[in-house]
Structure 1
Amino acid sequence: MHPFQDMHKARSVRAYAVMAAFFVLIVGVFVVSMNMGFTRLSPLEVLSTLFGGGTDKQKLILFEFRLPRIVISVLVGCGLALSGAILQGLSRNPLADPGILGINAGAGLAVVLFISFYPVKTAAPAFMLPVLALVGAGLTAALIYVLSYKKGVGISPVRLILVGIAVAAGIHAAMIVLTIRLEPQNYQFVAIWLAGSIWGTNWKFVLALLPWIAVLIPYVIYKANVLNVLNLGDQTAAGLGVRLERERLTLLASAVALAASCVAVGGGIGFVGLIGPHLARQLIGPKHQFLLPASALAGGLLLIVADTIGRTMLQPSEIPTGIVVAVIGAPYFLYLLAKSKA
Structure 2
Amino acid sequence: MHESKRRRPLRRTLILAGLFLIVLIAALSAGASGVTIDRLIPVLAGNGTFKESFILLEVRLPRVAVLVLAGVALAVSGSILQTVTRNDLADPGIIGIHSGAGFAITVFYLFAGGDIPYYAYLLPAVGFAGAIVTAALIYLFSTEKGRGLRPMRLLLVGIGFASALSGGMMLLISGAERQEAAFVAEWLAGSVWGADWPFVLALLPWVILLVPFVLYRSNTLNILALSEPSAIGLGLRLSRSRMLLIAIAVALAAAAVSVTGYIAFIGLMAPHIARAIAGPRHQHYLPAAMLIGAGLLVAADTIGHSFPAFTVPAGIIAALIGAPYFLYLMRKNG
- TM class by shorter-chain length? over 0.9
Pick from 68, 71, 81 the counterpart of residue 65 of structure 2: 71
Q: Count how many residue pairs are aligned between Structure 1 and Structure 2.
A: 334
TM-score by length of 2: 0.97
Output one character per residue of 1:161-184: Cα deviation in whole Å (capped at 9) or x when no partner. 111111111111111101112211
2:35/2:55 contact within 8 Å kept: no
Map residues 265-280 of structure 1 onto 2, 5 A cutoff.
Answer: 265-280=259-274
What are structure 1's unaligned runs of at least 5 residues?
Answer: 1-5
The answer (yes or no) to whether the contact 1:97–1:273 under 8 Å persists in 2 is: yes
CA–CA separation in structure 2 for the residues paired with 1:322 and 1:132? 21
Change (3 A) 1:119 1:184: farther
Q: Is the 8 A contact 1:311 1:318 kept in 2?
A: yes
Structure 2: distance between partners of 1:57 and 1:86 = 42
- Given candidates 321, 324, 327, the residue that maps to 2:317 is 324
Structure 1 contact 26–304 (Cα < 8 Å) conserved: no
Residue correspondence of structure 1 range 214-225 to structure 2 within 5 A: 214-225=208-219
Q: What is the percent sequence identity of the aligned residues?
A: 46
| 2:79 aligned with 1:90 | no
d(CA) in 1 for partners of 2:5, 2:215: 18
**Matched residue of 1:99: which SS?**
coil
Tell me which moved more, 132-141 or 9-18. Answer: 9-18
Alpha-carbon distance in structure 1 between the residues aligned to 2:114 and 2:95: 27
What letter is aligned with 1:95? L
2:174 matches 1:180: yes
**8 Å Cα contact 1:38-1:312 kept in structure 2:** no
In the TM superposition, residue 119 of structure 1 has moved relative to its aligned partner by 4.6
Q: CA deviation at 1:51?
A: 1.3
CA offset at residue 286 of structure 1?
A: 1.2
C-alpha separation in 1, matches of 2:176 and 2:109: 8
Query: Deviations along 1:284-338, whole A, 9 cap, x unmatched?
Result: 22111112221111101111111111122235x3210001101100001001101
Aligned to 1:138: 132
| 2:256 is aligned with 1:259 | no
* Structure 2 partner of 1:33: 27
CA distance in 2, matches of 1:132, 1:194: 16
Q: Residue 10 of structure 1 aligns with which residue?
A: 4
Choose from 293, 299, 307 the match for 2:301.
307
Following superposition, the deviation at residue 131 of structure 1 comes to 0.2
- Matched residues in 2 for 1:121 and 1:207: separation? 20
Q: Scaled by the length of structure 1, what TM-score is found?
A: 0.94
- When residues 327 and 294 of structure 1 are mapped into structure 2, their CA distance, relative to the original with a 3 A threshold, is same
Q: Contact (CA 8 Å) 1:120, 1:186: kept in 2 or not?
A: no
Alpha-carbon distance between aligned partners in 1 of 2:113 and 2:221, rounded to the nearest angstrom: 42
Secondary structure of residue in 1 paired with 2:312: coil
Distance 2:69 2:4 in 1: 30
Runs of 4+ aligned residues of structure 1 deviating over 4 Å after TM superposition are: 119-123
The answer to whether the 8 Å contact 1:276/1:296 transfers is: yes
In the TM superposition, what are the counterparts of 1:168-207 in structure 2 within 5 Å? 168-207=162-201
1:339 paired to 2:332: yes
Greater mean deviation of Cα atoms: 237-246 or 20-29 = 20-29
Contact in 2 for aligned 1:310/1:319 (Cα 8 Å): yes
Secondary structure in structure 1 of the residue aligned to 2:305: helix
1:197 to 1:123, Cα distance in 2 relative to 1, 3 A: farther
Equivalent residue, structure 1, for 2:94: 100
> Which moves more between the two structures, 121-130 or 34-43?
121-130
How far is the alpha carbon of 1:123 from its aligned partner?
A: 5.4
Amino acid at match of 1:309: I
Residue of structure 2 equivalent to 1:298: 292
**Cα deviation, residue 73, structure 1:** 0.7
Please give the root-mean-square deviation of Cα atoms over the aligned residues, in Å: 1.4
Distance 1:311 1:122 in 2: 32
CA distance in 1, matches of 2:122, 2:295: 27
AA matched with 2:320: V
